[in-house]
Structure 1
Amino acid sequence: MNGHAAPAPAGRPAHPASESRTADDVEAGIIALWHTYGESRKQGLRDRLVLHYAPLVKYVAGRVGTGLPAHVDVADLIQSGIFGLVDAIEKFEPERGLKFETYAMQRIRGAILDDLRSQDWVPRSVRSRARDVERALERLGASLQRTPTDRELAAELKIGLGELRELYAQLQLTSVVALDELIAAGRSTGGPGSSLAESLPDEGAEDPIASLVDQDSRRQLADAIAQLAERDRVVVTLYYFENLTLAEIGKVLGVTESRVCQLHTRAVLRLRTKLNEQLEA
């Protein structure tokens, strides 16, 4: 006997207890690796952690890449995300009680978005049109006391309904994970560029002020979502809270993926406008 468990016979599934032991062994190995890396900070140990958590980068890159123009290569997003993963490993503090995967996904996403913004791949004219749409939504919302329809918005912008929908497709470029930014709107904790982990309170001493700020931000977002048109509300819920892809949402709604992209862009623009109104109130 060599001390290793014999493999399951061909054609038979491994015993559940064996699978559980394997998972436990892997988890114990990662915990030990983190402990050793924390003491020595050796690059070789860090690289082993990078390899273990690399699937997180692919997952986040895929989520960010959904709805981006075809010329944006997911492989480039993954490359940017790797830098975010390395940064997360080097700055992670296990004693703060935060799960590493949660922390790392924020750093990975931030690295990808920083790289996208640095490329300035959104035309200036598109950004200008986005501002025009936001201002028109704000004007109509104030005068109608409700969310305007696409037809009303098109009339306000003096364009046709088809042209408005083409504009939605272009404006996808300006709203990469915009909901994440909206959730953070109005928070007083953390400065520019601060990470999620840097703004978290000590687990051993709850900060009631930070808790109230977070609850208020969530309430504002919930109120803004509740004011959306039903279809926009469904898209936001399925995309951000149920983690469905745009293609999957299209199957639920019985529309094409490109139409879901337009609905998503419209919903994000309307949410941004409503949250800005709440902050200014």
Structure 2
Amino acid sequence: MTNSAASVDDLVLANLPLIGYAVSELLHRVPPSVSRDELASAGSLALVLAARAYDPTTGVPFARYASLRIRGALLDELRSMDWASRGARQRVRELAATSERLTAALGRAPSRTELAGAMGTDVAAVDRAAQETARRVLSIDAADPAVTDMVRDDSPNPEEALLTAERLHWLRAAVHTLPERLRVVVEGIFLQDRSVAELADELGVTQSRISQLRTEALSLLRDGLNANLEPDLVHTGERPDGVAERRRQMYFASVAARAAMASTPSAVPGVVPTQRAAAMPAVSA
């Protein structure tokens, strides 16, 4: 989905503070040589792209969706700052380890000659390693472990992306097929950030009843998904011929019919799956 230029501008202007929050949080965990301006530039571009791609019909708040896109862009920017080759990073780590070991043994900072002897090399090589350490912008392997964890590539592979997209496709169909009252509760709590009290007032029931409807809806969603994706996980009701079980079976069939009529999920999750994943809880078997 592509939004109009006016709506994109409105979303960007209203959510500019997200960039500052994300950049400030990240700067506390990286070397001081990392440029705030470069991170802010990457975050700004991500915000604009998020505003262009945002689909309000998913019900996911834009701020939540944009925050994920901005954070991902900042981590990509950090990866691009890692100038050092693998050999250079290894020399930096070796020099640091040797320096720490000799300092502890000698009770003082070691000389260049002592470092060269301990490393089995010459003074020139020690000087080169020291220069690489001084001009290091951000070495992913040698940086603080917290930064290393942050810049890991945890994105799904193509097979995982396809499975995720397919499951979200079925989840969307299952939510739309829920009985109206259950659907209102699920969409209100998980997609619209509405409170239990607000939903209780709208439906004219108690807050505890809303909690019961939520539990009932999630159970039905789980069985609706499993009936079509993993049938062995679906438990048969106590009365297979009873009215309640027949209604469940009708719901399962309706979910399958709606999913079949909808478009086939893409192999690579796009904007809609990403936004849905940010809002809906995992419906476990």
TM-score by length of 2: 0.37
- Structure with more contact order per residue of length (Cα contacts < 8 Å, sep ≥ 6): 2
